[in-house]
Chains A and B, each alone.
Chain A
Amino acid sequence: MENNAQHEGNHGGQGEKLKTSVYFCRCGSNIASRLNENAALLKIECQRDVSKVKAVNLLCSEEGKEFLKNDIMEDRPDRVVIAACSPREHELTFRGVLRDADMNPYLMQMANIREQAVWVTEDIDEATEKAVRLVRAAVSRVQKHEPLEEHEIEVCPDVLIIGAGPAGMKAALSIAQSGRKAVLVEKTPVVGGMPVLYEEIFPNLECGPCMLEPMMDEILHGEYSSNIELLTLSEVDELLGFYGNFVARIRKTPRYVDMDKCIGCAECFEPCPVQVRNTFNFGLDVKKAISFPFLGALPNAPYIDSRKCLRFIGEECTMCRESCPIEGAIAYEQEEEMIERKVGAVLVAVGADLYDPTNIPNLGYGKALGVYTSMEFERLLSSNGPTEGKIKNMGGSPPSSVCIVHCAGSLDENHKEYCSGICCQTAFKFNHMIESQLPGTRIIHLYKELVIPGKDDFSLHHEAKDNPNAEFVRYEDIRDINIYTPGEQENVQVDYRDASGREGSFMADMVVLCMALTPPAGSEELALKLGIPLDSSGFFEELHGRLDSVQSKVKGVYLAGTCRSPMDIQKALDQSMASAGYILSGLVVGRKLEVKPTVAEVDADRCGGCRICVSVCPFKAVEIDGETGKSSVNAVLCQGCGTCVAACPSGAIKGNHFTREEILAEIIGGLR
């Protein structure tokens, strides 16, 4: 074999024969014992395009790799074929060896003669033939390979977190602790999300605000709080760019209270002449146009509801400012701001909503007195809620009987097909709290299924089961329940048909509907702004349900908590930490982002701008140039899946390292 001078830059031009070395790994006896090695080597050696063949015992061992490196450095082949195991196992290993040997790692092709030939072919001659064909295919393919270069880009390590519930707060703290900046954007005036509204939290019945208080405090005044920029009453308006280099535009609506100056003394509430329905108590009570959302809300500064405040509907009123002891704390002059922040990653933790109970009219919500959703009941239980924690109907007396409807809208093909996962625990928590506040109250559980997995979750269930005043009735279909107010009565009648078909009826003073958890209002709009997809249930869709459930389909946008799927607080926080883990390990301060060359590339001359590639890309990596109308692929976002390459009808898109020429050469080589 001639040992020519280096063939650097020899890319398979016409007529030039490339020097191609084949390394045949025996894989111990794994490959060697299952084929006729001599015959195989002979056949490979006399193949067109093969310059030499060498058999090695264990190419992936340290000696094997050393041998491969030295042999390549000595021989300087133009192309290398490694006949061994699956590329999933050792392609990266051998690419590394080529790199060490000063050869472009993409000028190598593996022939998987172990998994695809000898392990699955009993007959030795057939296995030999198959292995030879696989090598031939690889040799034919590698002639077409092009040297590909990885490149690096600068990244911003800061993070945008949308939603300041427990999941968002936890992630913000972790990011802040690592020394990066977290921009925490919250739609409402307060932090804490849903559970901050709960008096007690299952399974251990900790007080919600108390449990979250240390975390909220750390966000606001902790050691790393200077790394957290909390933007309340704010929403993301636009997200541009890509992993490592996003630009977020955030719309911040005014609070009309200067958070730096206000001390939260609440002197301004009393003089305010306007009452508004308190949305934090789901309209069960009223509050002033300037007020806290609820007692103990953080940040500790009130906000002005500008839809109701007299100043904003054209009247002159300065009552709150006049009563304020701090100069300049009430800031009527605040205006809506558009804030721009550069971040490297985005975490979506916008929580969930409850399914609208009026979608199931037979449950009587909004018509029969004393019918509440589980969220409303949480507020009735809460010491900072409309009844200061007393279980009673609004304006009424404590109930002597409460009906709790489980699975309302869940596990139901007419409503939400999924199990909401948290309602059983919520219902049993209610059971406990009713029994401890009003011992002897009759509690009727209407349920479809009971779901109580995990090591902590049995105790509330046992307690409910053991409660002599609690009854359990299993129903099959939510339509078998009818809740209404008969005649002049103040309480409600519940008619039902149970799962065995028996019909029954009872009177209740109060009904609690454990509604299904749904994606939050506005998630479609947010998904559109972030460029990430929703799943068939409307939740934010994960990259992979098992392996990558906190990554969205767009690289650099992560998901945590109930906006991804119904889940409890524990799981939501686990997910937020998983997201933080991805972000902290993926975007490292001082390290550039490596951009893989095995991505799709558009040949603009061949592109006709039909936009099919844009329609099919699952990673939002394809963009259309506004001026030329032609498409281009963002190499950072592209995952090299090849969907656009296959779909492009003009053949303008090339999948690097999987070009048509390469694939065709491989097929022809294998069939030759």
Chain B
Amino acid sequence: MSEKPKLAMYWASSCGGCEIALVNIHEMILDVDAVFDFMFCPCLLDTKIKDIKALEDKAITLTLFNGAIRTTENEEMAHLLRRKSEVLVAFGSCAHEGCIPGLANLHRSEDFLESIYVDNPTIDNPESTYPLPECDMPEGTLSLPEFYDRVSTLAQVTDVDYFIPGCPPEPHQVRAVLQAVMSGEDLPPRGSVLGAGSAIVCEECARVKADKKITRLYRTYEIQPDTEACLLEQGILCMGVATRSGCGAPCLEANMPCTGCYGTPEGSMDQGARMSAALGSIIEVDGKGLSEDELARRFNKILDHIPDYAGLFYKYSMSSSIMKARRK
């Protein structure tokens, strides 16, 4: 048994990108292995849950928990790892703010089952058989984790010590956090966001910013954007203004708009609300002498270029937004 501090990484409702992000720290993974006993990571290692259950409480020094909480199993693991971990980190956008899984909150869980198991061109299911949490068979009762109606963030089900935003977190930020932990230096107060800035992506974006007035919006395929000027000023819906800094703005460097993966800015409670307030403030319609109906029509014409409000403004933060989910 190693005397090294234990490191765990778990995936709840997630895509696996966060594990890739960890490996993306390149050679530093060797340092991590040298310092830690990397003992639990279902994506990479074969440790079983019973092994975790057998540990003493707080036996794991650091757990990087990625993924949102969508099923009873996700939540059970969250509680278990909370109990067994000294420091529990919500790693990546899903655990932090719900991310893509959180968009499920715009629909009912029955609707998902319907479109996955029945109303689907590649499925032949004439008896409309759905997966059930429990199923009695001659050999006994089979069970599946239960599917929640609402996707939650890690902090909504258990106490979280730190948050590392990003979809996935950028390697240089993962490195910086691990470095800080390994060096034993004092970490910021519990509840803090690590591996990110406190402002917005614009702070790290090298583009030239001017006063903002937009008269029409463009989707990325409709325009060849100027590489020097602010994309939002060019009418491209760049979420950078309403997204926490820390990524280093690599998308902007590649002439693509920010989609908002570093999530809600430090000073805000709702990324989507902030973006729509900002956008409403800078979209300009020449309203001189127009009736209110005509004004509304022109404004709507500009807004028609946003095909999916929730998917754009709340792509990464639906679960942690003020509304959190569709109200039935």
Contact = CB atoms under 8 A, between A and B. Distances in A.
A646 interface: yes
B241 A612 contact: yes
B212 A612 contact: yes
Nearest to B265: A650
Contacts of B242: 649-650
B201 interface: yes
Contacts of B268: 649-651
Contact of B288 (A536, A643, A652): A536
B209 A611 contact: yes
B274 A616 contact: no
A336 B272 CA distance: 55
A603 interface: yes
Contacts of A649: 200, 241-242, 265, 268, 274-275, 277-278
Given A605-B199, A649-B277, A650-B241, A610 B212 contact: yes
B179 interface: no
Contacts of A650: 199-200, 202, 241-242, 265-268, 274
Contacts of A169: none
B222 interface: no
Contacts of A646: 277, 281
A620 to B, nearest CB: 11
A648 interface: yes
Interface centre among B198, B199, B211 (most CB of A within 10 A): B199
B49 interface: no
A608 B200 contact: yes
A610 B267 contact: no
A609 B203 contact: yes
Nearest to B230: A610
Given A650-B274, A660-B269, A610 B281 contact: no
Contacts of A44: none
Nearest to B275: A649
Given A610-B212, A610-B241, A647 B278 contact: yes
A605 B278 CA distance: 19
Interface in B182-201: 198-201
Interface in A641-658: 643, 646-652
A651 B212 contact: no
Given A417-B289, A612-B241, A651 B265 contact: yes
Contacts of B213: 615
A607 B199 contact: yes
Interface string A616-644: 10000000000001000000000000010
> For this complex, into which size category does the number of interface residues on chain A fall?
20 to 34
Contacts of A608: 199-203, 240-241, 245
A242 B64 CA distance: 52
A610 B211 contact: no
Contact of A615 (B201, B202, B211, B266): B211
B250 to A, nearest CB: 16
Interface centre among B202, B210, B275, B277 (most CB of A within 10 A): B202
A606 interface: yes
Contacts of B29: none
Given A608-B201, A649-B241, A616 B282 contact: yes
A510 interface: no
A621 to B, nearest CB: 14
Contacts of B232: 610
A648 B210 contact: no
A611 B211 CA distance: 6
Interface centre among B201, B210, B267 (most CB of A within 10 A): B267
Contacts of B277: 646-647, 649
Interface string B233-262: 000000011100100000000000000000
Nearest to A654: B267
A416 to B, nearest CB: 12
A45 B202 CA distance: 49
A172 interface: no
A614 interface: yes
A660 B266 CA distance: 13
Nearest to B281: A647
A605 B198 contact: yes
Contacts of A660: 269
A205 B210 CA distance: 53
Contacts of B201: 608
A610 B13 CA distance: 34
Given A649-B241, A650-B241, A610 B265 contact: no
Contacts of A652: 199-200, 265, 267
Contacts of B266: 605-606, 650-651
Contact of A612 (B267, B269, B278): B278
Given A649-B200, A649-B242, A651-B268, A611 B210 contact: yes
Interface in B53-78: none
A139 B183 CA distance: 47
B281 to A, nearest CB: 4
Nearest to A614: B211
Interface string A395-421: 000000000000000000100010000
B76 to A, nearest CB: 31
Interface in A192-243: none
Interface in A421-474: none
Interface in A133-169: none
Interface string B260-296: 0000011111000011011011100000110000000
14 contacts: A606-B267, A607-B203, A614-B211, A615-B282, A616-B281, A629-B209, A646-B281, A647-B278, A648-B267, A649-B242, A649-B277, A649-B278, A650-B242, A651-B266
Given A608-B241, A649-B242, 19 more contacts: A413-B289, A605-B198, A607-B203, A608-B201, A610-B200, A610-B209, A612-B282, A615-B212, A615-B281, A629-B203, A629-B209, A647-B280, A649-B200, A649-B274, A649-B278, A650-B266, A651-B265, A651-B266, A652-B265
> Across chains A and B, which 4 residue pairs bring their CB atoms closest together, nearest first?
A651-B267, A651-B268, A608-B200, A647-B281
